[in-house]
Chains A and B, each alone.
Chain A
């Protein structure tokens, strides 16, 4: 019988190998899914894993989608490391987009190019404001941050709908629910001509470096994480859990809001009901698959971006629904959590005759995955 046996210490090998194994399992299930739908699995794999990287243009598109995912995940990693369960990054992203859009709409033809800074700042502040509602309710009233932050996603969505269907609707927009297109001066500068990649990717990469320094090289970053790992130890050391809560939520709200600003003042260029693209939720998976590590999350953001583009291509090329993206994202998180068991436990074949030490053996009929 297959048994789980506790390891004396967590396996370093499996903490790196588990995301890879999870990816392999996700791909295998994906292939089975394609076969079940009567589609050519090879074609499916091509659409998801080859087309998004095969040309310079494709790589640019991959970067465009990976940027917001990475930016949001960086903030969420701080949250999850300090045991603050912010599930509402999607709402913080939307409010960031709304505030950034509000500033962008104020710009005229001859507004200074520097307005971009105000747009990005407004987005960051918007995300922080939205996250601070969750922080305040958790801090003052002990309200569960998972539920509060999630409920606020639905509220933010309705707020966006209200604005684009109501007061901010473009009068010359043939009654479409959208604002007028932002002036060109509000456009986030692009890295090069011919690609939609903006300086957002540089901001995200700078964020990777900053987060690495904060988490592993500063006292504040250390204090932030101790509270998540050992609350009692943190109290004893005099680290404030209130401060950790606020810092985590403001940071993640800020990055989500900034991502929202970069989206509306970048690829989208106006506010529409389609601004929420699920980046806030996908970034949760990015954070986990990237091991809450700044560098790991770069890779997982690229992977998740491949799923996004693969879903769009599957729609146009294979006639499959775009929501395939969500299926793969969910599957990846599921298989990752299952594979992570291997970090703390070892799989052992055990014949029923030899008795394993009952103190460490974990009975399991199914084993991992």
Chain B
């Protein structure tokens, strides 16, 4: 029993990293822009957060540094893609390659650094429930923030006027433009907001999940987050579900190892990546389902007035 509670706690922890990044990418994609740079943004954000905490000792500053770094990169990506009409896939890829190189380069001095002891957060009373308490109610505040963010995003996208405008920019930028909305500014705002959330995910990854800087430590989570938006057919609540599911798969490898399952660790490490491939194939199998849910102008450039 004890070990299942631990597994549940770890699943929420791992899922939160994916959820934060995937929700950011969802906002991005709802506005019609695919950013393949998530991996690079998360790496730079993780390094920035780590460096900020090492030098200042403040977690708040760490999270802010992570968010800021990724938002800045996202803004550069946004200007290139939205104003200079560069190819979204190629530019995002450039961002990922650059982010991987730059974080490895700039992070070399932090490889041996250690972070101060992390504060634990306990919800009063609920945290004292046996087994479930520690698993569900003694998590980092960011875990609950991610859940709250989903609720807010559902309201924002489907119940608020601003959300409607955002979605219209992703569905039909021409119509939104004709109605007088500043399509490109809205898209830039969505890209920067998406980058900021990827930054939050990167900061959470290094400050809470694995408090150690290692080159390439994001290990494909940015790409899994991208796959999650398809998995969730661009629905915020399903993103959360998918993130926890993948968090569970990631954690399962440690659980299986602990349980003494006789499989080489490398095959267990493969699990989340294989799961992503299988799930992606199963979800994409139904073309109409994808077509109905996918923002209609996703990945397509928009040139006003041409």
Task: Give the chain B neighbours of A6 by CB distance below 8 A.
Answer: 306
Q: In the complex, what distance in Å separates the CA atom of A155 from the CA atom of B269?
A: 8
CA distance A146 to B223 in the complex (A): 9
Within 8 A of A (CB), among B266-306: 266-267, 269-270, 273-274, 276-277, 280-282, 284-285, 287, 290, 303, 305-306
**Chain A contact residue count (CB 8 A cutoff):** 55
**Alpha-carbon separation in the docked complex, A314 to B80 (Å):** 30
Whether B36 is near chain A, meaning CB under 8 Å from some CB there, is yes
Query: Quick check: is B179 within 8 A (CB to CB) of the other chain?
Result: no
List the B side residues contacting A345 at CB < 8 Å: 85
Judge if B254 is at the interface, Cβ distance under 8 Å: no
* Chain A positions within 8 Å of B280 at CB level: 137, 143-144, 147-148
A368 to B277, CA, bound (A): 38
Given known pairs A281-B97, A327-B105, A329-B101, the reply for A337 and B87 (CB within 8 Å) is yes
Of B62-70, B88-96, B168-176, B198-206, the segment with at least 4 beta carbons within 8 Å of chain A is B88-96
A98 at the interface (CB under 8 A from B): no
**A89 part of interface (Cβ distance < 8 Å):** no
Task: Find chain A residues with CB under 8 A from B102 CB.
Answer: 326-327, 330
Contact flags A185-210 to B (C-beta < 8 A → 1, else 0): 00000000000000000000000000
Minimum Cβ distance to chain B for residue A308 (Å): 12
Q: Is B104 an interface residue (CB 8 A)?
A: yes
Cβ of A176 under 8 Å from chain B? no
B220 at interface, CB cutoff 8 A: yes
Within B89-120, the residues touching A (CB, 8 Å) are 89-91, 93-95, 97-102, 104-105, 108
In chain A, positions 147-166 with a C-beta closer than 8 Å to chain B are 147-148, 150-152, 154-155, 158-159, 161-162, 165-166
Q: Is the CB of B227 within 8 A of A162?
A: no
Give the nearest-CB partner of A80 in chain B: B90
Contact A359 B104 (CB under 8 A): no
**Complex Cα distance A3/B22, Å?**
35
Per the CB 8 Å criterion, the residue count for chain B at the interface is 52
> Chain B, 196-234, contact with A by CB distance < 8 Å: what is the 0/1 string?
000000000000000000010001100110110010000
Q: Collect the chain B residues with CB atoms within 8 Å of residue A366's CB.
A: 79, 83
Do A147 and B94 touch (CB < 8 A)?
Answer: no
* A344 on the B face (CB < 8 A): yes
Q: Is B84 an interface residue (CB 8 A)?
A: yes
Query: Could you say which of B40, B89, B94, B277 contacts A151, with CB atoms under 8 Å apart?
Result: B277
Asked whether A285 is an interface residue with its Cβ less than 8 Å from the other chain, the reply is yes
Report if B122 contacts A (CB, 8 A).
no
The residue from A142, A158, A359 contacting B269, defined by CB atoms under 8 A apart: A158
For residue A152, which residues in chain B have a CB less than 8 angstroms away from its CB? Answer: 273, 277
Encode A330-357 as 1/0 by CB contact (under 8 A) with B: 1101100110110011000000000000
Contact B266 A161 (CB under 8 A): yes
Is there a chain B Cβ closer than 8 Å to A259's Cβ? no
Chain A binding surface, main DSSP class? helix
A137 with B101: in contact, given A147-B223, A165-B266, A337-B94 (CB under 8 Å)? no
Asked if A288 CB lies within 8 Å of chain B CBs, one says: yes
Interface residues of A in 292-338 (CB under 8 A from B): 321, 323-331, 333-334, 337-338
Q: Decide: B284 and A143 in contact? CB cutoff 8 A.
A: yes
Bound form: Cα–Cα A46–B281 in Å: 49
Q: Which of A165, A284, A341 contacts B84 (CB 8 A)?
A: A341
- Within the complex, the shortest CB–CB distance from A311 to chain B, in Å, comes to 9
Tell whether A141 is near chain B: CB-to-CB under 8 Å: yes
Q: Which residue of A lies closest to B39 (CB)?
A: A150
Known A-B contacts A6-B306, A337-B90, A368-B84; A158 and B97 likewise in contact (beta carbons under 8 Å): no
Say how far A291's CB is from chain B's closest CB, in angstroms: 13
Q: Which 8 A/B pairs are nearest by Cβ-Cβ distance?
A: A326-B101, A330-B98, A323-B104, A162-B266, A333-B94, A141-B281, A321-B108, A323-B105
Q: Which residues of B contact A (CB under 8 A)?
A: 36, 40, 76, 79-80, 83-87, 89-91, 93-95, 97-102, 104-105, 108, 215, 219-220, 223-224, 226-227, 230, 264, 266-267, 269-270, 273-274, 276-277, 280-282, 284-285, 287, 290, 303, 305-306
A142-B287, A326-B100 known, 18 other contacts, Cβ within 8 Å: A137-B281, A141-B284, A143-B280, A144-B230, A147-B277, A151-B277, A154-B220, A159-B270, A321-B105, A323-B108, A327-B101, A330-B97, A330-B99, A330-B102, A333-B98, A334-B95, A337-B87, A344-B85
